[in-house]
Amino acid sequence: MELNKKTMQRIMLLITFAVLLFWGLYNISAVTKVLGKLLDLLSPLLLGICIAFVLNLMMAALERLWDRALAKWDSRWNRKLKRPVCLALTMVLFIGIIFAIFFILIPRLEEAGSTLVANIPTYVAQIQAWWENLSAFGAEHGVTLPELSLDADSVKNTITGFLQEKGDSVVNTTMNITASIVGALVNFLLALVFSLYLLAQKETLLAQSRRLLRRSLPQKAADRLLRLLSLSNNAFSSFVTGQVTEAFILGTLCCLGMLILRLPYALPVSVIIATLSLIPIFGAWIGAATGAFLIVFQSPIKALTFLIFLLILQQVEGNLIYPKVVGKSVGLPGLWVLAAVTLGGGAFGVLGMLLGVPVFVVIYAGLEKLVNNGLKKRGLQTETAEYMNLDYIDDATLRPVRLPTEAPHAALKETKDDSVK
């Protein structure tokens, strides 16, 4: 093999990569720390990219509405105003949705806490009466239960003593939580500003990225990478659209059901469940715990009714609505949607649940293309319907042959005799 300049460059790159890989494996702990620090520094930028990706779907929809509404007004000002106006509306809607969720949730949590404190005497009296009835029932059947003596003052004193004893840890925990919230808020604001710049100049940034890829990679490799990125973008976009649609359907059904059952906090609980259901399949269960926490202070029976209702709704949502809505939007069968969420959640937790479906869509599409290419090379049909009830492939036509259900052996013999003739 002739060692020209290009070959020498490849050999040097391979040697450099091997040396760096060996050094990284030998110093894996140091590499892990450096990567962790780097991830912390880049977290606002990465979060900004994620926010920009989601907001781009909303902004693209607004720009399509703009084009339809102002189709007759084709002027320079129309083109100049479209992006700033649609971007501003997108940001207003996004921030408005976040504030609306918090303004609905926080007052209800405060109300639930106040209700708990005010109803402690009632709860204690109910528990005492229930235990006395249980003791009487046990005595009739020869079972003696220990006495239970409770009063509201003792319960309040116990809670107060616990808080005083654990006061320092409670304060420290509160300060740590506050510091974490402040840090997360700063990162979120930085990410929001970064996403604003990304959305404002997305066409220019995409063109520069394609230009860099064309310069850095061979043409075939660049084409394959761009096709993969396009497929990933379509998969993630369809997934987000389907997920939001499914959350809206679930929240609406939950609100209607709670209103029919006359359960309290129908609107805030439905908003919480719809928001948390953005976590595929299992998010609604987290919302169920939050909703039950709000309702139980009004009435434990109503909280139990809510859980039973949500259990039924969750079964319908998880097995019918979610696979149909999200699976249809991403072009993935419902069975594989459930498999992607289960495997992703088991491997990577909540993040795996969020990203499992779109990642699986990319893998599924790649495998489907690989299979179709292999079938085309053999001259076979690529449509799945062609292989329904398949018995064998005809050697002459290379088409699937379906035998009748009655007397299959006779039909098989007749078909083979015809092919011999």
Question: Which residue ranges make up each domain of the chain?
Answer: 224-377, 380-421
Q: What is the pLDDT of residues 48-83, one digit of tens each?
A: 888 888 888 888 888 888 888 776 776 777 777 888
The pLDDT assigned to 397 comes to 67
Rounded Cα–Cα distance for residues 185 and 168 (Å): 25
**Sorting pLDDT into bands at 50, 70 and 90, what band is 411?**
very low
Q: How far is the CA of 299 from the CAs of 72, 116, 373, in angstroms?
A: 59, 11, 61
What is the model's pLDDT at position 170?
A: 46
Please say whether the beta carbons of 51 and 191 come within 8 A. Answer: yes
pLDDT in tens, 312-369: 887 787 677 766 666 666 666 667 777 777 787 777 766 677 677 778 877 877 788 7
Confidence label for 236 from pLDDT (cuts 50, 70 and 90): confident
pLDDT at 419: 47
Mean pLDDT of the chain: 75
Please say if the pLDDT value at position 165 is more than 70.
no
pLDDT tier at 286 (50, 70, 90 boundaries)?
confident
- Euclidean distance between the first and final Cα of the chain, in Å? 56
Q: What is the mean pLDDT of residues 385-405?
A: 65
Is 420's pLDDT higher than 70?
no
Residue 182: the pLDDT is: 64
Query: Region 279-301: what's the mean pLDDT?
Result: 76
79-93, 246-260, 325-339: which has the minimum mean pLDDT?
325-339
pLDDT band at 408 (very low <50, low <70, confident <90, very high): very low
What φ, ψ does residue 401 adopt, rounded to 5°? -115, 125
* Residue 406 clears pLDDT 60, i.e. is over it: no
Split at pLDDT 50, 70, 90, the class of 256 is: very high
Name the region of 59 (left: φ>0; alpha: ψ -120 to 50; beta: rest): alpha
Across the range 30-47, mean pLDDT stands at 79
Provide mean pLDDT across the span 91-108: 78
- 53 CB burial (10 A radius; 0-12, 13-18, 19+): middle
User: Does 416 or 284 have the greater pLDDT score?
Assistant: 284
Per-residue tokens: 111: 């109300």
Dmax over Cα atoms in the chain, in whole Å?
100
Q: What is the pLDDT of residue 281?
A: 60
User: According to the model, what pLDDT value does residue 244 have?
Assistant: 82
Confidence of residue 421 (pLDDT cuts 50, 70, 90): very low
